[in-house]
C-alpha cells in the first residue's frame, strides 16, 4: 500500500485483506483525465483565494499537465498499489513536486472529487451513446427507405395479423430509439451539475468560487446542498434506467433478427461480419451478435437494480458503499455503447429475402380484417362483420384456399352484400394503402415519417 491520506490518528495500518478489499483503482483509473482536470480547476480556485501563490499554482498546473501526458503514455506503469485514482494522482504529484502536491488538497475531499469526476466522465459518455443511437437510427431509416415497396407480415401474438410495409416495421424501432435519445438527453442535463466545493459533506471554508470552478470544468450548474451533493447518485440511476430501457429495445430488435434469420423463417440474411459458424455443424450461420445484444440486456437491467439496491436506505451523506456505484455504471456504459455500435454496423448488412416474406404473406389469412372492415362500410355492426368474416376464414381453411380464391357466389352465400370489389379489398397492397391515417402503414404515411426523422437526425 502506498502512503495513506489519513495517517495521523492511526497507530496501525489497514489489515492486508481489508486493504485489498478497499481498492477501487482497478475500475476508477479510467477517471484519471477528469481527476487531473479537476485538480487544475481546483488549484486555480485555491490561487484566487490566496491559498496558493501564483507561482505555486503555475508549478502545479505544469505538473498536472505533465502527469496527464505521462498517464496517457503509460498509465499502468505509473500506478502502484494505490487505493484509488485520486490517491494515485496525489501520490505521484507529491513525489514529483514535494509538499506542493499536498497543498492542492485544501478545500476538497475525495467525496466531492469522485462524484465530480464521474459526472464529467458520464457527460462525455452520454454524448458518445447519443451519437451511437443516431447512427443506429440512420441505419434503420436507410433500410426503411430502400425497402419502401416491400410488404411484410405484421404480427400480433406472433401470428399473422395484418400486412404492413417492412419500412413501417423498421420505423417502429426508430420510434423506440428516438425516445431513448430523449431519455439520455434528460440524464445528461441531470448529470451536468457540479458538486465540487461541497467538501466532505458540509461545504468548504476557503470561499472558493464554485461557479468559476464549475464553468472551468464545463458544467452548466452547481449543486445547492453539500450533503445531497456528495451522496446523490440519482443522475446515475436516471442514466442506468435510460440504458435499461434502451437495452430492452435492442433486445426486441435482436430477437426479431434471430428469428427472421433462422432458415425456419428465412426473412433476412445477416452479413458474415456479424454471424459465426459452428465447429460441428457446417451448415450453420449463427446470429451471435444479435444474440449477445439480447443476452447483455440482462446485465444492463441488473446494473440498474444493483444501483437501486446500493442506494436503498443509505443514510446521509457519503458512505463508502458508494464506491460500488462505479462497476455498475461503467459496465452499463460499455455494454450499451458497444451494443448500439454493433447494431448500427450490422443493420446495413441485412439482406431481406423477398420469396420467404411473400410466402409468409400467403399464410394466416392476413387480410381477413379487411373483409370485416368492408362489411362495416356496408353498414354492418363490427361484431357481426367479425362473425361473418370468421366463418369465411373457417371456410377457406377447410377448403385449403386463400381468401382471394373464394368465388364470388361462395362469398355471397355468407352475405349477399359482398360484391366483386372484395378481391381488390383483400389484396395486401390495398390493405396497406387503406391505413392512411397518421401513424398508419400506408406508403405516404411511412414516407413522411421517414422524412421527419431524416430531418431531425440530419
Residues that bind ligand ARG (CB under 6 A): 24, 28, 84, 110-111, 114, 320, 322-323
| Active-site residue (options: 12, 157, 279, 416) | 157
Other beta carbons within 10 Å of 416: 8
How far apart (Å, rounded) are the C-alpha atoms in residues 322 and 374?
A: 63
Task: Say if CB 131 and CB 458 are below 8 A apart.
Answer: no
Q: Phi, psi at residue 438, to the nearest 5°?
A: -55, 130
Residue matched to cell numbers 452520454? 126
Dist CA 166 CA 368 (whole Å):
19
Q: For residue 60, what is its C-alpha cell?
A: 502545479
In the complex, minimum distance from the CB of residue 229 to ligand ARG, in angstroms, rounded to a whole number:
13
Nearer to ligand ARG, 273 or 314 (CB): 314
Active-site entry in 55, 220, 278, 448: 278
Question: Quick check: is 241 catalytic?
Answer: no
CA pair distance 81, 121, nearest whole angstrom: 23
Other CB atoms within 10 Å distance of the CB of residue 422: 20
Cα(425)–Cα(306) distance, integer angstroms: 53
Q: Which is nearer to ligand ARG, 53 or 319 (CB)?
A: 319
Q: Which three cell numbers stand for residue 298?
A: 440482462
238 belongs to the catalytic site: no
Q: How far is the CB of 52 from ligand ARG (least distance, A)?
A: 23
In the three-class reduction of DSSP (H, G, I as helix; E, B as strand; rest coil), residue 82 is classed as coil
Written as nine digits, the cell of 26 is 482497478
Nearest distance in Å: CB 323, ligand ARG = 4
In angstroms, the CA 336 to CA 349 distance is 20
Task: State the nearest-atom distance from the C-beta of 314 to ligand ARG, in Å.
Answer: 12
Q: Where does residue 379 fall: left (phi above 0), alpha (psi -120 to 50 degrees), or beta otherwise?
A: left
**Residue closer to ligand ARG, measured from CB, 123 or 233:** 233
When the beta carbons of 84 and 232 are compared against ligand ARG, the nearer one is 84
**R_g (Cα) of the chain, nearest Å:** 31
Residue 162, beta-bridge partner list: 154
Q: Looking at beta carbons only, is 155 or 200 nearer to ligand ARG? A: 200
To the nearest whole angstrom, how small is the minimum distance from the Cβ of residue 70 to ligand ARG? 22
Ramachandran area for residue 419 (φ above 0: left; ψ -120 to 50: alpha; else beta) = beta
Nearer to ligand ARG, 115 or 165 (CB): 115
Closest CB 22 distance from ligand ARG, rounded Å: 8
Catalytic residue ranges: 157, 278
Amino acid at each position: 500500500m502506498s502512503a495513506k491520506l489519513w495517517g495521523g490518528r492511526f497507530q496501525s495500518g489497514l489489515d492486508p485483506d481489508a486493504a485489498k478489499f478497499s481498492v477501487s483503482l482497478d475500475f476508477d483509473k479510467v477517471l484519471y483525465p477528469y481527476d487531473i482536470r479537476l485538480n487544475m480547476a481546483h488549484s486555480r480556485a485555491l490561487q484566487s483565494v490566496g491559498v496558493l501563490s501564483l507561482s505555486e499554482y503555475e508549478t502545479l498546473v505544469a505538473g498536472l499537465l505533465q502527469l496527464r501526458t505521462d498517464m496517457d503514455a503509460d498509465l499502468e506503469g505509473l500506478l502502484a498499489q494505490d487505493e484509488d485514482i485520486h490517491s494515485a494522482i496525489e501520490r505521484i504529484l507529491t513525489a514529483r513536486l514535494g509538499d506542493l502536491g499536498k497543498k492542492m488538497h485544501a478545500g476538497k475531499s475525495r467525496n466531492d472529487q469522485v462524484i465530480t469526476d464521474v459526472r464529467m466522465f458520464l457527460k462525455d459518455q452520454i454524448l458518445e451513446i447519443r451519437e451511437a443511437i443516431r447512427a443506429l437510427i440512420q441505419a434503420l431509416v436507410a433500410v426503411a427507405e430502400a425497402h419502401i415497396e416491400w410488404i411484410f407480415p405484421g404480427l400480433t401474438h406472433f401470428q399473422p395479423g395484418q400486412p404492413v410495409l417492412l419500412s413501417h416495421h423498421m420505423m417502429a424501432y426508430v420510434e423506440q430509439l428516438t425516445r431513448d435519445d430523449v431519455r439520455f438527453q434528460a440524464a445528461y442535463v441531470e448529470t451536468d451539475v457540479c458538486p465540487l466545493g461541497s467538501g466532505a459533506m458540509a461545504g468548504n471554508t476557503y470561499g472558493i468560487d464554485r461557479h468559476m470552478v464549475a464553468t472551468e470544468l464545463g458544467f452548466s450548474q452547481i449543486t445547492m446542498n453539500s450533503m445531497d451533493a456528495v451522496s446523490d447518485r440519482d443522475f446515475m440511476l436516471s442514466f442506468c434506467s435510460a440504458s435499461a430501457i434502451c437495452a430492452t429495445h435492442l433486445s426486441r430488435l435482436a430477437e426479431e433478427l434471430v428469428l427472421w434469420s433462422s432458415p425456419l423463417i428465412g426473412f433476412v440474411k445477416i452479413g458474415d461480419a456479424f454471424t459465426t459458424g459452428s465447429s460441428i455443424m457446417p451448415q450453420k450461420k449463427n446470429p451471435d451478435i444479435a444474440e449477445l445484444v439480447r443476452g447483455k440486456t440482462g446485465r444492463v437491467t441488473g446494473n440498474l437494480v444493483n444501483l437501486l439496491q446500493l442506494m436503498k436506505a443509505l443514510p446521509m451523506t457519503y458512505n463508502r458503499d458508494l464506491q460500488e456505484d462505479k462497476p455498475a455504471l461503467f459496465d452499463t456504459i460499455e455494454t450499451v455503447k458497444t451494443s448500439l455500435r454493433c447494431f448500427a454496423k450490422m443493420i446495413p448488412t441485412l439482406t431481406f429475402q423477398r420469396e420467404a416474406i411473400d410466402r409468409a404473406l400467403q399464410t394466416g389469412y392476413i387480410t381477413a380484417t379487411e373483409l370485416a372492415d368492408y362489411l362495416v362500410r356496408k353498414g354492418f355492426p363490427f361484431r357481426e362483420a367479425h362473425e361473418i368474416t370468421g366463418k369465411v376464414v373457417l371456410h377457406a381453411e377447410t377448403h385449403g384456399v386463400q381468401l382471394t380464391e373464394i368465388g364470388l357466389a361462395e362469398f355471397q352465400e355468407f352475405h349477399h352484400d359482398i360484391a366483386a370489389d372484395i378481391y381488390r379489398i383483400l389484396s395486401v397492397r390495398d390493405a396497406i394503402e387503406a391505413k392512411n391515417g397518421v401513424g398508419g402503414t400506408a406508403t405516404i404515411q411511412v414516407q413522411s415519417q421517414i422524412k421527419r426523422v431524416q430531418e431531425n437526425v440530419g
